[in-house]
Amino acid sequence: MTISAIDTGPVTADSDPHYEDRIDLAAVFRMTARLNMGEGVANHFSYAISTDSNQFLVNPFGRHFSNIRASELLLLDAHDDSTMDQASRPDPTAWAIHGAMHRNAPQARCVLHVHSKFATVLASIKQHELPPIDQNTMRYFNRVAVDDGFDGMGLGDEAERLTTTLGNNRILIMGNHGVMAVGETIARAFDELFYFERACETYITALMTQKPLRLVSDAVAEKTARQWEDYMDRVGLCDAHLCEVRAILDREEPDYKL
């Protein structure tokens, strides 16, 4: 099935079965902009709405994250070769990277790609491991994939190659490029992106002090990572995080839902 990228105007719960998904994704765009984690009108987020992950929502070309509205999100088919010929189309790198991810990595239902400051600094230094120095960095202990094969902007073969490096991880450090966070839900992917950027900020700031790092043992780091996983599942941390994001935007930027 081919789904055209056509702006159908404002969406409602009655007119669009993926209304809540659109609102969740639009909220994540807006909050990411508030956190200064976007980059002009570049970078892109997507969410698969079909069980095989091939049909997905993604931001249109040329829209700043702070302006994204639910109705503007494009609905694309990862196998539709005519996508970039349509009037409403995504950024070429968005189509390449996210199309490849949704074709080849169906477990990554939500794919968030940014060049956020601290994660990109980590992706730009030779030793880009994230050592366990605080609770947030420990959340990602042995749970981050690293791509060291940068070969230009994410187009064509480069995009296809990226899908082979993620594995079962939810974070991909894209060497010389940026970061990708994925999740089975929009809430989980956003929470991963948020906390990974915070973890990177703590680490990069610690390096700037030029003082010795206070590393914990591998055993403690792994214990803490497992506690994170249990905590998120048990209390519904990711859903609560996104719920609060939407509450802030409902009060201050309600047009994100249009």
Looking at the DSSP bridge assignments, the partners of residue 172 are 145, 180
User: Rounded CA gap, 75 and 59, in Å?
Assistant: 9
Higher-scoring residue by pLDDT: 87, 11: 87
pLDDT band at residue 163, thresholds of 50, 70 and 90?
Answer: confident
To the question of pTM greater than 0.95 for the whole model, the response is: no
pLDDT at residue 6, rounded to an integer: 39
pLDDT in tens, 51-97: 999 999 999 999 999 999 999 999 999 999 999 988 889 999 999 99
- Region 218-242 average pLDDT: 97
- Region 99-103 average pLDDT: 94
Contact indicator for 150, 206 with CB cutoff of 8 Å: no
Instruction: Indicate the pairing of strand 178-183 with strand 171-174.
Output: antiparallel
Domains of the chain and CATH, by start: 19-126+147-196+238-257 (3.40.225.10)
